[in-house]
Homo-oligomer: A and B are copies of this chain.
């Protein structure tokens, strides 16, 4: 086979997902098929790369079982980071160090699997390369449970999280509906999503012939009115004994405060300046029980929802592999400063193509749930959203079980 590409490096960055490793497998397989040299993995992304903390993926993926296991391993096999590259001008020393490592290891192409912030890294590095006449190529591979990258129809990682959320919601609804209750019970389920409500919206998928679904789904795209929410719960409790409310962690009041801030907790900020949120279900449960006297139960899906590889969507896994492999093809063809994007051709039967897009149109931008996909009352999703989301959760990739539990591929130094 004609050698189209030399050594390459792969990194993972930002919050992990259930299928972020499937993109590593896609990159690895495509690179090897194209006759690439070594495939280096950056341990903890660009931060590890700067410290020459690299591993050879060949050590783990030369067997098919290694690749199959990695596809089923949640969270970032290589480790992630939340390192933000500084502005190029005035900070050339950082960039020079990165290119030194590139040259030292003879790395021709650099693949970075991540979300909005990680795509900023790809943009900065490709900009620097262009300005300084460097030949190395920089390719972004989309990954985020938040599903908020622009241009791409959806992001690998979202479908599996959505499948887990809807599955778990169906199960806890079955649970709460089974108890013989003397007074109404309000179940409040908190789902990740800082600014975009895609994950909470996935709760709408739970509704079907065997499940009434949630009585309301509140997204951060709309102002949250606690009084209106409590009125809605009171009205729903007239008709049924259990009321199910789904909230995105990022819901805010009209004055801009996050609901979770009302508890006086959680005001820490990450390196990108994002507030660390948690606990809005608990805050709301207190509010609701105080106002109505109803029994409440708050459930926070926490990091379970982004790491539940045991409930991965096969569609999502396959697209994650494809996003990776197509990125390698793009690099081999000489592209740089681009991200792989998914382009939906039709909903039913679902058809999705893959392409690349200029990273400058993607980095640091967030795509919210479209306003027209939120029902007029602001507490539900339209049929159009369901047509969009349903294909993304279809199919399963069964875990490989070891001693009764899903097996994972883990870097040697992780296990003591």
Interface residues of A (CB under 8 A from B): 12, 16, 44-45, 47-48, 73-77, 79-83, 163, 166-168, 170-172, 174-180, 205-206, 208-212, 239-240, 297, 299-300, 302-304, 306-311, 313, 390, 393-396, 398, 401-410, 414-416
- Across the interface, A408 reaches (CB within 8 A) one of B210, B307, B416, namely B210
CA distance A160 to B178 in the complex (A): 18
Smallest CB-CB separation from A45: which chain B residue?
B180
Q: Is the CB of B174 within 8 A of A408?
A: yes
Cβ of A73 and Cβ of B408 under 8 Å apart?
A: no
- A180 contacts which chain B residues (CB < 8 A)? 44-45, 47-48, 79-83
Set of chain B residues within 8 Å of A303, measured between Cβ atoms: 172, 175-176, 297, 299
Q: In the complex, what's the smallest C-beta–C-beta distance from A205 to chain B, in angstroms?
A: 7
Dominant SS at the A interface?
mixed
Determine how close the nearest CB of chain B comes to the CB of A349; give it in whole angstroms: 14
Of the candidates B83, B175, B211, the one whose C-beta lies within 8 Å of that of A307 is: B175
Can you offer 16 A-B residue contacts whose CB atoms are under 8 A? A16-B179, A76-B178, A79-B178, A79-B179, A168-B308, A170-B405, A170-B408, A171-B304, A171-B308, A171-B406, A172-B302, A175-B306, A175-B307, A176-B303, A212-B414, A297-B302
CB proximity of A299 to chain B, nearest CB, Å = 5
Question: Considering the chains assembled together, what is the distance between the CA atoms of A206 and B406 in angstroms?
Answer: 10
Contact check: which of B299, B394, B406 meets A170 at CB < 8 Å? B406
How far apart are the CA atoms of A313 and B73 in the complex, in Å?
20
By beta carbon, the residue of chain B nearest A163 is B404
Distance A303 CA – B409 CA, assembled complex (angstroms): 29
Are A406 and B176 in touch, CB under 8 angstroms? no
Contact between B309 and A171 (Cβ–Cβ < 8 Å)? yes
Alpha-carbon distance between A106 and B205 when the two chains are bound, in angstroms:
43
Do B240 and A416 have beta carbons less than 8 Å apart?
A: yes
Bound CA–CA A210/B75 (angstroms): 13
Q: Flag if A405 contacts B206 (CB, 8 Å).
A: yes
Whether the pair A205, B405 counts as a contact (CB closer than 8 A) is: yes
Complexed CA–CA distance, A406 and B396 (Å): 11
Cβ–Cβ contact B405 & A396, under 8 A? no
| Chain B positions within 8 Å of A310 at CB level | 167, 171, 311
Q: Which residue of B lies closest to A53 (CB)?
A: B180
Q: Known A-B contacts: A163-B405, A208-B403. Give 12 more (CB < 8 A).
A: A73-B174, A75-B171, A80-B179, A171-B308, A172-B307, A175-B306, A209-B402, A210-B407, A210-B409, A212-B416, A240-B416, A297-B303
